[in-house]
Amino acid sequence: MDFTEDQLQRYSRHIILPEVGGKGQRKLLAAKVFIVGAGGLGCPVGYYLTAAGVGTLGIIDNDSVELSNLQRQIAHSTKTIGMHKIDSAKATFEALNPDVSVIGIKERISKDNILDLIKGYDIVVDGSDNFPTRYLVNDACVMAKKPLVSGAILKFEGHVTTIVPGEGHCYRCLFEEMPPPGLVPSCQEAGVIGAIPGVVGSLQAIEVFKLILGKGDVLKNTLLIYDALKTTFRRIKVPKNPNCPVCGDNPTIRELLDYDAGYCAVR
Amino acid sequence: MEEDIKPDRKINIKGLVCPYTFVKAKLAVEDMEIGQVIEILLDYEEASRSIPKSMEDHGQKVLKIEKINDTDWVLVIRKEKE
Ligand SMILES: [Zn+2]
């Protein structure tokens, strides 16, 4: 594939990097990434993947834009309040880079659709805001052997980890079971400082680039914790657990479960 | 300096400025086989220094840097590394 003059300009800062070059940029343009959620994390991840020319972006969400989202969800705007988040995000991404094909899915992700949805993609990014979805996405990615870049934010803290099935840990190696609903912060406790999704989403986007380019080290067997109050990044080693119920030697979870509701989502 | 090397490829990037001078040169080198030689004609003075430096940084071999008239330079580079 030859670059157009516009593409040479748009991607010039990638092409001049030894780790990317024309070859790497072609890999980015050919890549297909599926993003779960068009909220706090899905917005910056989608924005940077689009800007970088990641050729195909699938994105799923089932909510509409609310005024309370705009403190941190940068693909939406005052003008798109009330619009479906998928339409709002798709319009933003398409305006940013016409090279990217954005496939929006206005559904709730579930055990019945996830495997079909992620089938055609190279990498999955979890930007969901609740434990049932996080475990669903983890288990589905382990079963489908799709690399997963998982992110989470709450208050002044952010987590990022990259799950490469067959090579490293999975989310259940880290936290085997979902916390009981009583231990999960209720909606009114679940504040999030603005810009923290930008930090975590940008880290997720860079993990995706490295997976596509095959360069550098991703957060395999590692959980990265960002503490915005202290301005610290901590790396926690997460060994793959041979007894993990989904990615271990004798998995007990062999098909997707009913990942209970009963949790309050941070909207 | 090796003088009598016949280039496998020639590009003319006159009129371009940084970073497009290097973008074009780098893409041309990426398309070549290891051991092949490229001749680059340019008229952006700064690139006559920055392209050779970046090519060396990326592991390529600069065979020649020559100012051929008042405005133009010719660079000759051999691809040593993918
Ligand atoms: Zn596991």
* pLDDT score recorded for residue A244: 97
Q: Which CATH class is domain B2-78?
A: alpha beta
| CA A157 from centre of chain | 16
* pLDDT score recorded for residue A267: 38
Do the chains contact at B26 and A15, CB–CB below 8 Å? yes
Whole-number Å distance between alpha carbons of A26 and A2: 9
Domain ranges of chain B: 2-78
Chain A interface with B: residues with Cβ < 8 Å: 3, 8-9, 12-13, 15-16, 18, 21-23
User: Which tokens go with A69?
Assistant: 């989202």
Contacts of B54 in chain A (CB under 8 A): 16
- In terms of Cα–Cα distance, which of A82, A164, B54, A263 is closest to B40? B54
Residue A60, beta-bridge partner list: A36, A105
Of B2, B5, B10, B18, the active-site residue reads: B18
* pLDDT score recorded for residue A186: 66
pLDDT in tens, chain A (267 residues): 689 999 999 999 999 999 999 999 999 999 999 999 999 999 999 999 999 999 999 999 999 999 999 999 999 999 999 999 999 999 999 999 999 999 999 999 999 999 999 999 999 999 998 999 999 999 999 999 999 999 999 999 999 999 999 999 999 999 988 887 777 776 677 899 999 999 999 999 999 999 999 999 999 999 999 999 999 999 999 999 999 999 999 999 999 987 865 555 443
Q: Tell me the CB-side half-sphere exposure of residue B55, using CA atoms within 13 A.
A: 32
- Determine the distance in angstroms separating the CA of B19 from the nearest CA of chain A, rounded to an integer: 7
Does the beta carbon of B15 lie under 8 angstroms from any beta carbon of chain A?
no
CB A151 within 8 Å of CB A203: yes
Q: Which residue of A has its CA nearest to B58?
A: A18
Whole-number Å distance between alpha carbons of A188 and A190: 6
pLDDT in tens, B18-62: 999 999 999 999 999 999 999 999 999 999 999 999 999 999 999
- Determine the distance in angstroms separating the CA of B52 from the nearest CA of chain A, rounded to an integer: 13
- Determine the distance in angstroms separating the CA of B47 from the nearest CA of chain A, rounded to an integer: 13
Do the chains contact at A8 and B20, CB–CB below 8 Å? yes
Q: Strand pairing of B61-67 and A32-36?
A: unpaired
A228: how many CB neighbours lie within 10 A of its CB? 16
The number of residues making up chain B comes to 82
Which of A12, A18, A23 minimises the CB distance to B19? A12
* pLDDT score recorded for residue B39: 98
CB A98 within 8 Å of CB A92: no
CB A111 within 8 Å of CB A104: no
Do the chains contact at A16 and B24, CB–CB below 8 Å? no
User: Which tokens go with B30?
Assistant: 């990426």
Give me the helices (H) in A11-62, please.
Answer: 12-15, 21-30, 42-51
Q: How confident is the model at residue B3 (pLDDT cuts 50, 70, 90)?
A: low
CATH superfamily placement of domain A15-237? NAD(P)-binding Rossmann-like Domain (3.40.50.720)
3-state secondary structure of B9: strand
Burial class of A38 by CB neighbour count within 10 A (0 to 12, 13 to 18, 19+): buried
B71 catalytic? Reply is no
Which of B27, B54, B57 minimises the CB distance to A22? B27
| CA A109 from centre of chain | 14
ipTM: 0.88
Q: Which residue of A has its CA nearest to B51?
A: A16
Give, in order, the Cα–Cα distances in Å from A185 to each of A129, A155, A200, A207, A263: 12, 10, 20, 28, 9
Does the beta carbon of B50 lie under 8 angstroms from any beta carbon of chain A?
no
Domain ranges of chain A: 15-237
Do the chains contact at B27 and A18, CB–CB below 8 Å? no
Long-range pairs for A109-115: beta carbons < 8 A, 24 or more residues apart: A109/A36, A109/A60, A109/A133, A109/A136, A109/A137, A110/A136, A111/A136, A111/A140, A111/A256, A111/A257, A111/A258, A111/A259, A114/A140, A114/A256, A115/A140, A115/A143, A115/A144, A115/A256
pTM of the model: 0.93
